Amino acid sequence: MFTENKYTAEPFRDIYPSRDGSPARLLERIDPVLYAGDDETAPIAATLVKQYREQGFVILENIFSDREIALFSAELERLRRTEATDTTDEIIREPGHGDIRSIFKVHESNLLFNKLASDNRLAGLAQYLLADEIYVHQSRVNYKPGFRGKEFYWHSDFETWHIEDGMPRMRALSVSITLTENHPYNGPLLLIPGSHQYYAVCEGETPKDHYRSSLKQQQYGVPSDALLQQMAQRGGIVSATGKAGSVIVFDCNTMHGSGSNITPFPRSNVFMVYNALSNRVVEPCHGLTPRPEYLCSRQQIKAITPQTVDYGNS
Amino acid sequence: MFTENKYTAEPFRDIYPSRDGSPARLLERIDPVLYAGDDETAPIAATLVKQYREQGFVILENIFSDREIALFSAELERLRRTEATDTTDEIIREPGHGDIRSIFKVHESNLLFNKLASDNRLAGLAQYLLADEIYVHQSRVNYKPGFRGKEFYWHSDFETWHIEDGMPRMRALSVSITLTENHPYNGPLLLIPGSHQYYAVCEGETPKDHYRSSLKQQQYGVPSDALLQQMAQRGGIVSATGKAGSVIVFDCNTMHGSGSNITPFPRSNVFMVYNALSNRVVEPCHGLTPRPEYLCSRQQIKAITPQTVDYGNS
């Protein structure tokens, strides 16, 4: 099931350096965005594939039915209720008031979301775009509460996964299945089109166990004002708005973040990160201790076989 | 120039109580929204007047020319630069990093904004809607920086002005002249249509010198989650987006706030609050010490004569 990681021996840290004392700057991406060669096998329209390649993300509407979304939402609510007082590391709370913000590793711990991880509409698409066998690098359900939902500052996931997890190259992507309507005003995902073509070298170093605080508030691996300005002036900013049941697919290096949510309307989603099996993580950079398994599949990597899932039996 | 305040003797505190230990609830507004009786003299289209009356706000586009906006913006920038190290109370800074967020009382301290306060497009409209002589209750320039612009939580201005300043009744309005483009994603003003018809009684009491912290982060005079939910589900939420040069006119009791701004695009505006001269402030509620003059004109009330202003001579 496991394939050889062909990048392990390469000096990938010289290709995408960060937090190593060198100044903030943009490096050009050297990896492909679209690994697939043959568009005839694409599971989505060619124009959508093109959008993904050029912008670094694509929003697919009406992928999941109302019934499926209701099922996922009910499961998320059930998890929030039953784990409300749970203190395991997989559960991340809002700073200040302690409401649950995210629950990680749901593709392993939860039967429904385990099924979802192999759902052809997600896993099949990821396998196509990455043109490799795939596995789940990370999964989570996110709940951005109304009234006091905090912002999440700009970041490239890849920068973190590369430095803190040792993900060699840009051959991973995230899918976010929206369980609530994303309005422009309730803190939707913001993305910078075209930012995936540049690697933003971040200043500063990484403190030990950074992940404990970074999941609540990012302090390291933060792109500089000047780099963000450069990228946003070139590509603009897009708010990923849309009805529940949409899927936002974005490249691992697309710069994204979200503002606060003061509205009464919460925002929730299920998140799956697919990585190419050939791109599985090696040692973290700078001698950092590997982050826990719930943030980064390292020991428990299982290749996924995309399939048609019937949630009727859940 | 000064008229008698006909409300002084009335028990207005029983009409719009708040922060008095009683539970959070919505009271129906008993004051008119539109004091003007004769629509034929309206300085804006009747449909816009209707919007203002029904929603509690109206967005007027292209009110100021690019040249005027450039002039106001340059003045705001000049003020930010020259007052960057100033520590007078009129200057409010962002929590944490100290960037200037607002400068108050610019209608008194600054020649250009003094002219603007009497500009017919603002003052004439305010005089029409309030159907009285008017004065500036408060003025400020706001600068919501990019990257780290903080949110401002939901509030009705009237609740604060009533409790902390002793403004008797709902016969005041704000105008916000936008100096930058308001995108959906850079923390635009959010308003709840129809919320102006209800007075949200807030829980808690008011600590001494509350204004010092409330201008940075609201903690008292905050409507409850349940009341906000009720209002937002009834009226929805509108993001006041639009190009520089627009004017957002909103009733003193319209529930509003804004999310954070993580984008590189700052958001700035000039704010004028016009109050009816007959509605000038009396004693604050609950024996509170009056807030400073820069937040609430009390001693230095000057009726305004709306006029056509030529900024060419500035």
Q: Residues A248-266: pLDDT tens digits?
A: 999 999 999 999 999 999 9
Q: Pick from A177, A191, A166: which is nearest to A126 by CA?
A: A177
Closest chain A CA to residue B229: A264
B51-71 pLDDT tens trace: 999 999 999 999 999 999 999
The mean of the pLDDT values for chain A is 89
- pLDDT attached to residue A9: 38
Per-residue CA distances from A294 to A80, A164, A176, A196, A301 (Å):
17, 14, 18, 25, 12
Task: Check: CB of residue B268 under 8 Å from CB of residue B180.
Answer: yes
- pLDDT attached to residue B5: 44
Q: Is the pLDDT of residue B100 over 90?
A: no
- pLDDT attached to residue B190: 98
pLDDT average, residue stretch A136-165: 93
- pLDDT attached to residue B7: 44
A198-217 pLDDT tens trace: 999 998 777 666 666 665 55
Considering CB atoms only, which of A257, A258, A262 is closest to B257? A262
- pLDDT attached to residue B6: 46
Helical H runs in B155-243?
A: 157-160, 210-214, 225-235
A218 touching B, CB under 8 A? no
B284-309 pLDDT tens trace: 988 889 999 999 999 989 999 999 99
- pLDDT attached to residue A212: 64
Q: Is the pLDDT of residue A142 over 60?
A: yes
Tokens of B52: 């203002």
Question: Is domain B12-38+51-287 in CATH 3.90.960.10, yes or no?
Answer: no
A96 touching B, CB under 8 A? no
Name the β-bridge partners of B238.
Answer: B191
Q: Which residues of A touch B184 (CB under 8 A)?
A: 184-185, 239
pLDDT average, residue stretch A21-36: 93
Q: How far does B120 lie from chain A, in Å, by closest CA?
A: 33
pLDDT average, residue stretch A153-171: 95
Region for B72 from its dihedrals, namely left if φ exceeds 0, alpha if ψ lies in -120 to 50, beta otherwise: alpha
For residues A51-83, one letter each, b for 16 or more C-beta atoms within 10 angstroms of the residue's C-beta and e for the rest, the string is bbbbbbbbbbeebbeeebbebbbebbeebbeee
CA atoms within 13 A on the CB side of A94: 19
Contact B153 A262 (CB under 8 A): yes
Closest chain B CA to residue A226: B264
Task: Check: CB of residue B268 under 8 Å from CB of residue B210.
Answer: no
A85 — pLDDT class (breaks 50, 70, 90): low
Position with higher pLDDT, B80 vs B162: B162
- pLDDT attached to residue B36: 87
B105-147 pLDDT tens trace: 999 999 999 999 999 999 999 999 999 999 999 999 998 889 9
Q: Where are the beta strands (DSSP E) in chain B?
A: 25-28, 57-60, 91-93, 100-104, 134-144, 152-155, 172-178, 189-191, 198-201, 238-239, 247-251, 256-258, 267-276
Q: Which residues of B touch A261 (CB under 8 A)?
A: 259
- pLDDT attached to residue A4: 43
Q: Is the pLDDT of residue A99 over 80?
A: no
B10 — pLDDT class (breaks 50, 70, 90): very low
B146 touching A, CB under 8 A? yes
A12 — pLDDT class (breaks 50, 70, 90): low
Q: Which residues of B touch A259 (CB under 8 A)?
A: 151, 185, 187, 259-262
Position with higher pLDDT, B166 vs B219: B166
Q: How far does A84 lie from chain B, in Å, by closest CA?
A: 20
Q: Pick from A222, A210, A227, A200: which is nearest to A284 by CA?
A: A210
- pLDDT attached to residue A100: 84
Q: Is the pLDDT of residue B1 over 50?
A: no
Contact A147 B228 (CB under 8 A): yes
Q: Which residues of A touch B228 (CB under 8 A)?
A: 147, 264
Tokens of B84: 């960057």
Tokens of B145: 């920086």
Contact A146 B225 (CB under 8 A): yes
Contact B185 A237 (CB under 8 A): yes
B220 — pLDDT class (breaks 50, 70, 90): confident
Rounded CA separation A298/A165 (Å): 9
- pLDDT attached to residue A217: 53
pLDDT average, residue stretch A186-190: 96
> Could you give the dihedral angle defined by the CA atoms of residues B204, B209, B211 and B217, in that order, rounded to the nearest 10 degrees?
-60
Domain ranges of chain B: 12-38+51-287
Q: Is the pLDDT of residue A67 over 70?
A: yes
- pLDDT attached to residue A198: 97
